[in-house]
Amino acid sequence: MNQVINQGGQEVIGVGRVEGPILVVEGGIDVGYDEVVEIHDSQGQLRRGRILEVGEGMAVVEVFAGTTGLSVDGTRVRFLGGPLHIPVAEEMLGRIFDGLGNPLDGGPQPLTDRYADINGQPINPTARVYPRDFIQTGISAIDGLNTLLRGQKLPLFSGAGMPHDQLAAQIVRQATLGRPAGEASGDSEQFAIVFAAMGVKHDVADFFRHSFTESGALTRVAMFLNLADDPPVERLVTPRAALTLAEYLAFERGMHVLVVLTDMTNYCEALRQISNIRGEVPSRKGYPGYLYSDLASIYERTGRIKTSDGSITQVPILTMPNDDITHPVPDLTGYITEGQIVLGRDLNHNGIYPPITVLPSLSRLMKDGIGAGRTRADHSHLSAQLYAAYAHVMDVRSLASVIGEEELGEVDQQYLKFGRAFEQEFVNQTYTENRTIERTLDIGWKLLSMLPKEELTRVTLEEIEKYYGAGQRDGHASD
């Protein structure tokens, strides 16, 4: 079932030590760091692995499928003489693969002679094109306040039991290249989608498959599945295999690729497991000191380059253990990605969908993808004003919880009303609702018009003149 990348290679029978998914091979071998190995157990079954460390006459190997059934004497290890490669081809869209890139859907191996190293290579910063094209997701809390751009990496920070999968599926379904407000969206240029599941449950994978089928997207989706009961070590390869295909599609075939990785927390746990067994010095919470660099080698495989029209946009999903945003996984992710969309439990309890907690959410690249000619001239100020006003709502709410709502001043009472309306009308929408950017911005202004003009210091006087109260005047509020 596996293609052999490199014919031949040396073979060793018998290993020195087996420990968790780690295998230590001893003997007079000549192998290189990071090479792939094939391992046959005494029954002749094949699994694969990767070299983590080499010394004179010894090599440390991580076995992707785990070491169950391997014996010290009965194991044959074959060194293939190069890093792991996977086939890449356009026809891989519409197919389903396991975490190492082998077909899972009963179909044949993709027909291609193009194999690519799963580790990729860093993009030269001078060869990048700075992302500026806005992606309309049809979700107000994203489009209006945390705009996603082509070539950006914007993760969803979620928690167990929150609808991050629905939100990701909705983004995948609705994402189109944005047009400035007022302009008809012309060609519905659609994304190719590369979906990588790491340690998620069967139901979750099924949910995504259904959602892709329903929206008719399945033919432009390549799925790489490493499910919860699959070997954890394979998880370290899954996102890299997926991104290798994405890079081929984007930078060699000129396609716009949207990559969804779920769930990065499981990936990091697999990494910790390996690090632990190897006895490495841990940094925070037992995660290895190189977690940042390792995550960067995944997240940074995003963007646009000068020599291709294509782009890779990443939407990784991670669940924050115990909803703790300072946990090393979300924390280091936030330092690498260009912002984050944070889902909140309170909003979820209140029945708000999507439960995007606006204040800690951020899109770093937003400033360069919005404004006149891209979305609308007032977008940037409007968004800052909504943020500032909603931040004040939080202060007022905590004050109100102490002294009671009646005791609040008139303006603060208006803020409370604004806050409720903001959550109900701006953030809240349905799973199938696809709002245009214009509609999103108009709702924003309609809500701001609930506050006195004097409070609106982040927007210009001209913008107030043009948009304040507009929603009430000409009934923009209804569709």
Partner 1 sequence: MTQQVGTVTWINGPVIRARGSRNVSMLELVEVGEEHLVGEVIGLNGDVITAQVYEETSGMRPGAPVFGTGLPLSVELGPGLLRSIFDGVQRPLPVIEMRLGSFIERGMRLTPLYRKTPWDFTPRVSVGDEVSGGIILGTVPETDALEHRVMVPPDVSGTLTWVAPAGKYTLEDIIAKVRTRSGAERELTMLQRWPVRRLRPYKTRLGQNIPLITGQRVLDTFFPVAKGGAAAIPGGFGSGKTVTQHQIAKWADTEVIVYIGCGERGNEMTEVLQEFPHLVDPRSGRPLMERTVLIANTSNMPVAAREASIYTGITIAEYYRDMGYHVALMADSTSRWAEALREVSGRLEEMPAEEGYPAYLANRLAEFYERAGYVETLNGSKGSVSVVGAVSPPGGDFSEPVTQHTKRFIRCFWALDKALASARHFPSINWLDSYSEYLEDVADWWREEVGKDWYHQRNQAMEILSEESRLSQIVKLVGPDALPDEERLILETARLLREGFLQQSAMDEIDQYSTVQKQIRMLELILHFHQRALRIVKHGAAISVIHNLPSVGTLIRMKTLVPNDQLEKLDDIQKEIDQQMDQLDSEYR
Residues 197-256 that bind partner 1 (CB under 8 A): 251
Q: Is 41 in the site for partner 1 (CB under 8 A)?
A: no
Say how far apart CA 272 and CA 162 lie, in whole Å.
25
Residues 313-352 that bind partner 1 (CB under 8 A): 325-328, 331-332, 334-336, 338-340
Q: How far is the CB of 233 from partner 1 (least distance, A)?
A: 17
What letters, b where the CB count within 10 A reaches 16 and e where it falls short, cover 353-371? bbbbbbeebbbebbeebbb
Nearer to partner 1, 252 or 433 (CB): 252
Residues 82-121 that bind partner 1 (CB under 8 A): 82-83, 119-121
Q: Is 421 in the site for partner 1 (CB under 8 A)?
A: no
Query: How many residues of this chain bind partner 1 (CB under 8 A)?
Result: 84
Nearest to 337 by CA among 364, 376, 319: 364
Contacts of 475 (CB under 8 A, 6+ apart): none
Among 70-78, 134-142, 204-212, 297-305, which window interacts with partner 1 (CB under 8 A)? 297-305
Which neighbouring-strand residues pair with 50?
A: 36, 62
Q: Is 28 in the site for partner 1 (CB under 8 A)?
A: no
Among 40-48, 64-72, 301-309, 419-427, which window interacts with partner 1 (CB under 8 A)? 301-309
* Strand 356-363 relative to strand 115-117, pairing: unpaired
Helix (H) or strand (E) holding 149: strand 148-149
Among 51-59, 66-74, 189-197, 422-430, which window interacts with partner 1 (CB under 8 A)? 51-59
Sort residue 114 into left (φ over 0), alpha (ψ -120 to 50) or beta: beta
Fill in the DSSP letter of residue 371: S
Three-state DSSP at 46 gives: strand
* Strand 311-319 relative to strand 256-262, pairing: parallel
Q: How far is the CB of 387 from partner 1 (least distance, A)?
A: 4
Quick check: 142 and 339 in contact, CB under 8 A?
no
Q: How far is CA 339 from CA 129, 224, 242, 278, 290, in A?
A: 18, 25, 22, 33, 21
Q: Is 297 in the site for partner 1 (CB under 8 A)?
A: yes
Phi and psi for 230 in degrees, rounded to 5?
A: -80, 160
Candidates 7, 43, 44, 55; binder of partner 1 (CB under 8 A) is: 55
Q: How far is the CB of 185 from partner 1 (least distance, A)?
A: 26
Among 5-13, 265-273, 284-292, 439-447, which window interacts with partner 1 (CB under 8 A)? 284-292
Among 41-49, 183-191, 264-272, 391-399, which window interacts with partner 1 (CB under 8 A)? 391-399
Candidates 284, 309, 466, 472; binder of partner 1 (CB under 8 A) is: 284
Q: Is 399 in the site for partner 1 (CB under 8 A)?
A: yes
Helix (H) or strand (E) holding 49: strand 46-55
